[in-house]
Chains A and B, each alone.
Chain A
Amino acid sequence: MFIRAPKDFWSGLMFLAFAAVTIVTASGYSMGRGGRMGPGYFPTLLGIVLAVLGTILVIRSLIIHGDRVERIALKPLVMLVGCVVLFGMMIKPLGLIIALPVTTFLSAFAGDDVRWREAIGLSAGLTLLSLIIFVYVLGLPLPVWPDL
């Protein structure tokens, strides 16, 4: 293929995809007229601008040479996003007392240099600290214990 600037090419495609979703979704809202802008007016306008920008990026990437995309670090990406999702799934039924140490302990494994004891100590310490700061001092409404 003739992609000369992969980074620009893929970002152009990303913006085009984003623009497509925006325009299609916004077409479900009333456009209104200039004097009475409907809820679909501004998003559609933005979608069109984004589509133009995406197209420029893609076309330019076929002409001008540019950077390659570096390798994607799959392990930290999947693990950390997974940890965030896991926290979301655990916080209500199980409470902070379980959700937080599990999340922080597992997220420690996203790095290359993992030390078991350190990770256990860290997650325990963080949980204690968070309980003190967020729950007892600041009184934020967090479920602390499992909801049985």
Chain B
Amino acid sequence: MMDVLSNISLGLGVAATFQNLLYCLIGTFLGTVVGVLPGIGPVTTVAMLMPISFTLEPVSALIMMAGIYYGAQYGGSTTAILINIPGEASSVVTSLDGHQMARQGRAGPALGMAALGSFFAGTVATFVIAFGAPPLAKLALQFGPAEYFSLMLCGLVAAIVLARGSIIKAIAMVVVGLIFGLAGSDVNSGIRRFTFGVQGLADGIEFVALSMAIYGVAEVIVNLEKKDGAAGIAGSIGKVLPSWADIKLCIPSVLRGTALGSVLGVLPGGGALLASFSAYTLEKKVASEPRRFGQGDIRGVAAPESANNAGAQTSFIPMLTLGIPSNPTMALMIGALMVHGITPGPRVMTDRPELFWGVVASMWLGNLMLVVLNLPMVGLWVRLLRMPYRMMFPAIIGFCCIGTYTINSNVTDIAVMAAITLFGYLCLKLDCEPAPLILGYVLGPMMEENLRRALLISRGDPTIFVSAPISLGFLIAAAALLLIVAAPAIRQRREEVMVE
């Protein structure tokens, strides 16, 4: 307990410096602004704004990126409520009741409740991280290469199972991602792999080029062909602060959403998406009049919004303690940390406590800023929402080009971005989700290294993965997950939940 308190105060000391507060504010503000723009989801927002953090100190950079992430998350909910276009799957459920409320002229309370619920959930999630992360990191420090390999395998499987669409395609995309991750100089032999003689590929496929190609350029192309008409924005917003009756009604929902979100966020592949879906479903089950859901019930906004914010935040736990991304955004965070020369893993907490605790503390401050920022600025967001897509996409293309070029001042990276855009578009057309690819890319080199080390220890005996108990446990969990999803009944249920 004392440890946690002293750690939090260390973190507050780092996060509350003028400079870091400023970066946190800029991050949450920019994240919200870009996240509010229709058609730009949180992942795209984080990918696009990443270059801004490159010149900063690692701590400040991560604080700013985290700010961008939850800002974008909140911005996405605003779009979902006001114009019924969820920026990301995780705010789909928010739009169900949120947009109904907006059409009844109660957009204000919906937005206000979303902000208050998110703030409460964020506060709780910060403590979950503060208490939960250190024991997990301590445990992870005892993992050998075999355990790590199996853990990563299990994480990848979980991420696939919880994603949408065909499972075979998702596994194939992970494998493609793993192969992408291996390109460049091999650490052990020094041999250049998959560079096809291109000098600029010696350091591998640049992560920024990959993520911008898929979440920036390819996404724009897909959006351009959709050609949906201008969305109608609800006229009057109403008072932003929810009434006391609304708040009282929502307290249990917010509590349930927060609890559910905090737990689900830690799971690989979980994060915000699963959290918000489950919270909404739970509310519907618990409510005495479930029929009111979908017709503008404020609890249908409060619960998933609290859950997705809690989940978004606790998904930092596996990223910061194990170095394993649970969703594409966390993969982007790992990529950004690597740009700064930090490899996320259990050692970060002991070697760079100021980084770890500074980020944790800044999350709470960032959530506070979100409330302060959002309640009075709803009017501005409404005006941003009227921005037509034709004004936005050239800017996305421009920022992607600049961002990819500046990372190494290397024209090859631009060419790589162009090539992966073609590939990414093809994948999207064939219903192959790109998220597993990004996760695979980040984990590729680590998986190879751990596999190599594990086999070195066992002298080539592959049974090491099943003879070490922890490793066996991860493998069983992975196999069980795959089997469960392959079962037709559950498969159908999963599709229902994702489609709803």
Q: Which residues from chain A sit less than 8 Å from chain B, CB to CB?
A: 7-8, 10-11, 14-15, 18, 22, 25-26, 29-30, 33-39, 41-43, 46-47, 49-50, 53-54, 56-57, 60, 67, 69-70, 72-73, 76-77, 80-81, 83-85, 87-89, 91-92, 96, 99-100, 103-105, 107-108, 110-115, 118-119, 122-123, 126, 130, 133-134, 138-142
Q: Pick the contact of B394 from A18, A89, A92, A119 — CB < 8 Å?
A: A119
* Interface: B259 (CB within 8 A): no
* Interface: B390 (CB within 8 A): yes
Chain B residue contacts of A37, Cβ below 8 A: 448, 451-452, 455-456
- Which partner residue on chain B sits nearest A106 by CB separation? B394
Cβ of B432 to closest chain A Cβ, rounded Å = 5
- Which partner residue on chain B sits nearest A35 by CB separation? B460
- Which partner residue on chain A sits nearest B186 by CB separation? A39
A142 B402 Cβ-Cβ under 8 A: yes
Contact with A along B214-238 (1 / 0, CB 8 A): 0001001100110100000000000
Contact with A along B350-390 (1 / 0, CB 8 A): 00000000000000000000000000000000000000111
Chain A residue contacts of B422, Cβ below 8 A: 77, 81
B398 A114 Cβ-Cβ under 8 A: no
Cβ of B369 to closest chain A Cβ, rounded Å = 21
- Which partner residue on chain A sits nearest B178 by CB separation? A46
A115 and B394 contact, Cβ closer than 8 Å, known pairs A30-B189, A81-B217: no
A140 B394 Cβ-Cβ under 8 A: no
- Which partner residue on chain B sits nearest A125 by CB separation? B395
B227 A88 Cβ-Cβ under 8 A: no
Contact with A along B396-427 (1 / 0, CB 8 A): 01111110011001010011011001100111
A11 B194 Cβ-Cβ under 8 A: no
B54 A88 Cβ-Cβ under 8 A: no
B391 A57 Cβ-Cβ under 8 A: no
B193 A50 Cβ-Cβ under 8 A: no
> A109 CA to B54 CA in the complex, in Å?
31
Contact with A along B141-172 (1 / 0, CB 8 A): 00000000000000000000000001011011
B406 A142 Cβ-Cβ under 8 A: yes
* 4 closest cross-chain pairs (CB), A and B: A34-B460, A88-B414, A35-B460, A73-B225
Cβ of B357 to closest chain A Cβ, rounded Å = 26
A53 B409 Cβ-Cβ under 8 A: no
Task: Report 25 cross-chain contacts, Cβ distance below 8 Å, ordered by A residue.
Answer: A10-B430, A29-B193, A37-B451, A39-B191, A43-B193, A69-B429, A69-B430, A73-B225, A76-B220, A76-B224, A80-B221, A84-B217, A84-B397, A85-B418, A88-B414, A100-B398, A100-B402, A103-B401, A107-B398, A111-B389, A111-B390, A123-B394, A123-B398, A126-B395, A142-B402
Which residue, B52, B188, B194, B430, has most C-beta atoms of chain A within 10 A?
B430
> A85 CA to B188 CA in the complex, in Å?
34
* Interface: B290 (CB within 8 A): no
> A35 CA to B462 CA in the complex, in Å?
9
Chain B residue contacts of A56, Cβ below 8 A: 168
> A46 CA to B437 CA in the complex, in Å?
13
B179 A91 Cβ-Cβ under 8 A: no
Cβ of A90 to closest chain B Cβ, rounded Å = 10
Chain A interface main SS type: helix
Contact with A along B316-352 (1 / 0, CB 8 A): 0000000000000000000000000000000000000
> A11 CA to B305 CA in the complex, in Å?
36
Q: Pick the contact of A138 from B55, B189, B393 — CB < 8 Å?
A: B55
- Which partner residue on chain A sits nearest B455 by CB separation? A34
Question: 4 other contacts beyond A87-B401, A100-B398, with CB at 8 A cut-off?
Answer: A76-B220, A77-B425, A83-B397, A92-B411
Cβ of A30 to closest chain B Cβ, rounded Å = 7
Chain B residue contacts of A60, Cβ below 8 A: 168
Contact with A along B18-57 (1 / 0, CB 8 A): 0000000000000000000000000000000001101100
A80 B432 Cβ-Cβ under 8 A: no
* Interface: B291 (CB within 8 A): no
Chain B residue contacts of A25, Cβ below 8 A: 193-194, 196
* Interface: B182 (CB within 8 A): yes
A26 B193 Cβ-Cβ under 8 A: yes
> A100 CA to B54 CA in the complex, in Å?
20
Chain B residue contacts of A34, Cβ below 8 A: 455, 459-462
